[in-house]
A and B are shown apart, each in its own frame.
Chain A
Amino acid sequence: MSEHVSAYVSQRELPRLPAPRSEAGLIATLRKNLFATPYDSVVTIVLGIFVVWLAWNLIEWGILTAVFTGANREACVPAEGQVIGACWAFVNAKMGQFIYGLYPVAERWRIDLVHLLLVVFAVPLAIPSVPWKRLNALLLFAVYPIVALVLMTGGDFGIGGGWISFLFAIAAFVAIAVAGTSLQVSERYVRIATWLATAAIIVLFASNIVRSESFRVLGFEFTALSLVSTLLAFGSVAASVAASVTNNQRLKVLVAPVVMLAVILFLSADFGLREVPTHLWGGLSLTLVVAITGIAASLPLGILLALGRRSHLPAIKLLSIIFIEFWRGVPLITVLFMSAFMIPLLLPDGVTFNNLLRALIGVALFSAAYLAEVIRGGLQAIQKGQFEGAQALGLSYWQMMRFIIMPQALKLVIPGIVNSFISMFKDTSLVYIIGLADLLGTVRRGFADPAWITPSTAATGLVFAGFVYWVFCFGMSRYSQFIERRLETGHRR
């Protein structure tokens, strides 16, 4: 053993250190933290000079030589020998566009209302001590998107039979999920409901391929097949209700179909709002629309993918892995190009989507892959005993997930979801590639305005946009850290 003594280890005793100096007082603190060693002192002095230089330059550019008011570029064009810093007058003049895009000025109150409602619904949900979380979440995730949609577009959608049957088929599946994962349930009726809902989907597909007679029912235009599909979906919901045992359960099952009915009526109602086509949307409000819709739409898909990736069924696992790794392996730009150029080719002749919706689909698929990985992390953090305990109680897979695993896992991954949202918020700046003008896009369009071309316009606009992004992202990242600390005290081992 003795010949294997490492050369790193000292062979002799080190000299004794002097007694420590006083550790109290401002001077001592400063010495300890800034001038502890000669090397430290050099670093401190060099950095100190750098900080002063940087701060002075920023103040000079942003305040001392900046122009705050002015009607056009004349204000910001430097005279001979003059130095002009930031041109805040540009930001000032274009502020309306930066927030609302080209949204008609007379209708901007609608955007304000949408933003206000977002704050009213989201802030209480984000503060842990505020009660009524369930109702609040329902308002934010179910009611708010619909209200916002109608406010922003103007509503009064012409909804055809195909869409109605599609929406009810989705509602039927949600009803099945609710009924089927209840703790007491009649298996037979659930199976009937599943078959009926599947049949509804198949007929719906057929109605897109086969042309059939069309007529109006209750003011909505149906084709024969889409009507059949809708009726099948209704039948499925009825079976789900029949499958439930208690009245309370029946009510829960009915929530989705009733909400869907309300949604359809609400969307096709005419509120007298002027229609604002999506190509007029822009600025910060578009950034928020894309980021929020993207993350909200990708959450359910992300959960399914995360479950799929941890599934014991090899085909499902493989498909989930392929899907996740595919989207994670390509840049968002190519996804946006794909949704802009390829989605129209993938759909049957005659079906077209609007530009914004296509971008949203691309963004949602992209972020679902990232969310799936975040949620998988949460699932992996759940102790094995929880799964075993649930199985020992005789719960089915979906019951186990709904009552035991997901409530714990989702709580754990809130910080991860917020971080994904931050990425999404930043990534929305790429939508300009497919012709949408988000915050950064409107700022950049502002550069091209001949009325505001000056040497400092571009830098000022970019600094302003950067600051807005920074405020949002920094705020959210702080929130995510706050939640993380809260969870750490309670749940971590």
Chain B
Amino acid sequence: MKNLVKTLLGASIIALSAMPASAATLDDVKKAGTLRCGVNTGLPGFGYQGDDGEWLGFDVDYCRAVAAAVFDGDGTKVQFTPLSAVQRFPALQNNEVDLLARNTTWTMNRDTALGLNFVGVNYYDGQGFMVRKDLDVTSALQLSGATVCVQSGTTTELNLTDYFRSNNMEFQPVVIESQNDVNTAYEQGRCDVLTTDASGLYASRLELANPDEHVVLPEIISKEPLGPLVRQGDEQWFDIVKWVHFGLLNAEELGVNQDNVDEMVNSENPDVRRLLGQDGNFGADVGLTNDWMVKVIKAVGNYGEIFDRNIGPDTPLKIQRGLNALWTKGGLQYAPPVR
């Protein structure tokens, strides 16, 4: 009896990992010494673990960029929490992560009713379809009557219904909880069509046994602006993450990259000088150091470098910049100036 009672005590001690937190996220992060970042459970190119368990990807680099801004250039002080689609919002709401960078679509409902704030769009995406080549389908409009595999609890599930309905087509949904299982079901022929964000399709295709036997259809049926989010109610933290994102874009626009950032500090260009903290007091105004952007770029590079390293044409995903090119190059990525 007595010993059994003690077992309970033993078990309750794991409870020691409970941690207090307060409203000022920046202070909490600094005090904890790590940034807690929610990422995908495994989406090649965006958020996944390499063979040795190290986290890699486009969204993961956003976490590292914020960590570099907060921790004086140390982009490794991040604790990654892999989150499923269902888990991601509660995890951020309940203060289990400080930042959610998990290819999440910005919608009005999520921005307003969930107590969350999107800081910007780091990837303009749209929903697409993938089918087997041997079905000879060339357009999504030929898909009437098909069986479609989709992950549950995503915006894609809703867009799918809307698209087929508005085109007077029928379909049979197969809705599965994890993207891995959705891919497996598609692979095994449970469904004819796999649908998710186009970026996700390219990633999923890599996970198929024979990627060449599958094609991504040209139609993009929805707007999927993906971006990082933070909790509502902490304006300072919101500003920090937002301006790390804008800073990365501005750096690309101004030609500041990982290699030349040390020289660019001495640049005469007033825009570059403000961005890199040579003029003005911009970093300090959000509670960082004035050379915050130098640290960020040294750690992860500018937006273009992050894109190219993880998902660009030279990676297995081979994604073109397209909508994600800077506004100066015909894309949509446009950041307010540092001034």
Q: Is the CB of B208 within 8 A of A303?
A: no
Q: B168 on the interface (CB 8 Å rule)? A: no
Question: Chain B nearest CB: distance from A231 CB in Å?
Answer: 20
Q: A157 on the interface (CB 8 Å rule)? A: yes
Q: Is the CB of A353 within 8 A of B17?
A: yes
Q: What per-residue 1/0 map shows which CB atoms of B203-215 lie under 8 Å from chain A?
A: 0001111000000
Q: A316 on the interface (CB 8 Å rule)? A: no
**Besides the contacts A146-B13, A350-B21, A352-B94, what 14 more A-B pairs have beta carbons closer than 8 Å?**
A149-B10, A170-B12, A177-B5, A178-B2, A263-B9, A341-B90, A344-B94, A349-B95, A351-B18, A351-B20, A352-B95, A410-B1, A444-B180, A458-B184
A148 and chain B: residue at smallest CB distance:
B10
Looking at B17, B22, B96, B180, the one whose CB has the most chain A CB atoms below 10 A away is: B17
A-B contact pairs, 11 of them (CB 8 A): A73-B209, A142-B6, A145-B11, A163-B15, A170-B9, A293-B11, A299-B4, A354-B18, A364-B11, A402-B1, A445-B180
Q: B53 on the interface (CB 8 Å rule)? A: yes
Q: B108 on the interface (CB 8 Å rule)? A: no
Question: Chain B nearest CB: distance from A12 CB in Å?
Answer: 65
Q: Is the CB of B41 within 8 A of A435?
A: yes
* Chain B residues whose CB sits within 8 angstroms of the CB of A158 once the complex forms: 16
The listed residue (A104, A170, A354, A433) touching B17 by CB distance below 8 A is A354
Q: Which of A236-244, A446-454, A472-480 contacts B (4 or more CB under 8 A)?
A: A446-454
Q: What per-residue 1/0 map shows which CB atoms of B68-90 lie under 8 Å from chain A?
A: 00000000000101111001001
Q: B228 on the interface (CB 8 Å rule)? A: no
Q: Is the CB of B87 within 8 A of A435?
A: yes
Q: A256 on the interface (CB 8 Å rule)? A: yes
Q: Is the CB of A104 within 8 A of B2?
A: no
Please report the C-alpha to C-alpha distance between residue A350 and residue B21 in the assembled complex, in whole angstroms. Answer: 4
A448 and chain B: residue at smallest CB distance:
B180
Looking at A134, A171, A349, the one whose CB has the most chain B CB atoms below 10 A away is: A349
Please report the C-alpha to C-alpha distance between residue A32 and residue B95 in the assembled complex, in whole angstroms. Answer: 71
Q: B3 on the interface (CB 8 Å rule)? A: yes
Q: A159 on the interface (CB 8 Å rule)? A: yes
Q: Is the CB of B90 within 8 A of A340?
A: yes
* Chain B residues whose CB sits within 8 angstroms of the CB of A299 once the complex forms: 4, 7-8
Q: Is the CB of A267 within 8 A of B1?
A: no
Please report the C-alpha to C-alpha distance between residue A177 and residue B22 in the assembled complex, in whole angstroms. Answer: 38
Please report the C-alpha to C-alpha distance between residue A108 and residue B209 in the assembled complex, in whole angstroms. Answer: 31
Q: Is the CB of A167 within 8 A of B13?
A: yes
Chain A interface size band reads 35 or more
* Chain B residues whose CB sits within 8 angstroms of the CB of A153 once the complex forms: 17
Q: What per-residue 1/0 map shows which CB atoms of A336-365 lie under 8 Å from chain B?
A: 000011001100011111111100100010
Q: Is the CB of A435 within 8 A of B83?
A: yes
Q: What per-residue 1/0 map shows which CB atoms of B19-34 lie under 8 Å from chain A?
A: 1111000000000000
Residues 278-332 (chain A) with a chain B CB within 8 angstroms: 278-280, 293, 296-297, 299-301, 303
* Chain A residues whose CB sits within 8 angstroms of the CB of B283 once the complex forms: none
Q: Is the CB of A301 within 8 A of B96?
A: no
* Chain B residues whose CB sits within 8 angstroms of the CB of A159 once the complex forms: 16
A177 and chain B: residue at smallest CB distance:
B5
Q: A174 on the interface (CB 8 Å rule)? A: yes
Residues 175-218 (chain B) with a chain A CB within 8 angstroms: 177, 180-181, 183-184, 187-188, 206-209
Please report the C-alpha to C-alpha distance between residue A177 and residue B9 in the assembled complex, in whole angstroms. Answer: 14
Looking at B18, B49, B84, B207, the one whose CB has the most chain A CB atoms below 10 A away is: B18
The listed residue (B1, B10, B18, B42) touching A352 by CB distance below 8 A is B18
Interface residues of B (CB under 8 A from A): 1-22, 41-42, 49, 53, 79, 81-84, 87, 90, 93-96, 177, 180-181, 183-184, 187-188, 206-209
* Chain A residues whose CB sits within 8 angstroms of the CB of B49 once the complex forms: 102
* Chain B residues whose CB sits within 8 angstroms of the CB of A350 once the complex forms: 20-22, 95
Q: Is the CB of B183 within 8 A of A448?
A: yes
Question: Chain B nearest CB: distance from A371 CB in Å?
Answer: 11
Q: Is the CB of A141 within 8 A of B3?
A: yes
* Chain A residues whose CB sits within 8 angstroms of the CB of B93 once the complex forms: 344
Instruction: Report if A142-B18 is in contact (Cβ < 8 Å); known contacts: A344-B90, A448-B183, A458-B184.
Output: no
Q: Is the CB of A141 within 8 A of B96?
A: no
Instruction: Report if A447-B20 is in contact (Cβ < 8 Å); known contacts: A102-B49, A104-B53, A434-B87.
Output: no
* Chain B residues whose CB sits within 8 angstroms of the CB of A138 once the complex forms: 3, 6
* Chain A residues whose CB sits within 8 angstroms of the CB of B87 once the complex forms: 340, 434-435
* Chain B residues whose CB sits within 8 angstroms of the CB of A360 once the complex forms: 11, 14
Q: Is the CB of B209 within 8 A of A301?
A: no
Q: Is the CB of A453 within 8 A of B84?
A: no
Q: Is the CB of B9 within 8 A of A167?
A: yes
* Chain A residues whose CB sits within 8 angstroms of the CB of B9 once the complex forms: 167, 170-171, 174, 256, 259-260, 263
B316 and chain A: residue at smallest CB distance:
A450
Q: A277 on the interface (CB 8 Å rule)? A: yes
Question: Chain B nearest CB: distance from A416 CB in Å?
Answer: 15
The listed residue (A102, A263, A296, A351) touching B13 by CB distance below 8 A is A263
The listed residue (B2, B41, B184, B187) touching A174 by CB distance below 8 A is B2
Looking at B10, B20, B184, the one whose CB has the most chain A CB atoms below 10 A away is: B10
B10 and chain A: residue at smallest CB distance:
A145
Please report the C-alpha to C-alpha distance between residue A201 and residue B34 in the assembled complex, in whole angstroms. Answer: 33
Q: Is the CB of A453 within 8 A of B10?
A: no
Question: Chain A nearest CB: distance from B193 CB in Å?
Answer: 19
Q: A185 on the interface (CB 8 Å rule)? A: no
Q: A406 on the interface (CB 8 Å rule)? A: yes
Q: Is the CB of B180 within 8 A of A353?
A: no
Q: Is the CB of B16 within 8 A of A303?
A: no
Residues 393-429 (chain A) with a chain B CB within 8 angstroms: 402, 406-407, 410
Instruction: Report if A357-B15 is in contact (Cβ < 8 Å); known contacts: A350-B22, A352-B94, A453-B207.
Output: yes
